[in-house]
Structure 1
Amino acid sequence: MLVLSRYTIQFGQYRGQTFKWLLENAVGYTAYLVDSHQKEQEHTACQSMTPMMANKDDLTRYSRAFPDFVKEVRFHRGLEEAKVRSLPPGQEGQDLVGFGKYQSETLQSLYESKDEDKISYVNFLRRMTSDPGTKMEAAIKYICSRDQAGNAAAAAATMAATASTRPARKTTIMARRAASKKLVQATRVQHKRPSRPGMTYRPAPFRSNCRQRNPKRRQRRTPFRPLSFLSSEVTISKE
Structure 2
Amino acid sequence: MTAKTTYKNPGDGAIEYASQFVESLSIEEAMPVIKSLMKGELNDTSDKRIKRCSYCNYYWRDDSLRNTKKTCCDDCKKGIKTLQRREQREREALLNPKPKKKTKRETNYVYWLEYPYWINEYEMLKQSWKYESPQSSTKVNQIFAAKERAERIGGKQKSKRVVPYNGDEAEQPKTFVNFVKSNKKPGEVTVSHIEKEQIDTYFLNRYSERHLKLERRRAVLSGDKKV
User: Larger helix proportion, structure 1 or 2?
Assistant: 1
Q: Same fold (TM over 0.5)?
A: no
TM-score class normalised by the smaller sequence: under 0.3
User: Larger strand proportion, structure 1 or 2?
Assistant: 2
TM-score where L is the length of structure 2: 0.21
TM-score where L is the length of structure 1: 0.20
User: Which structure is richer in relative contact order (CA contacts within 8 A, separation 6 or more)?
Assistant: 2
Larger radius of gyration: 1
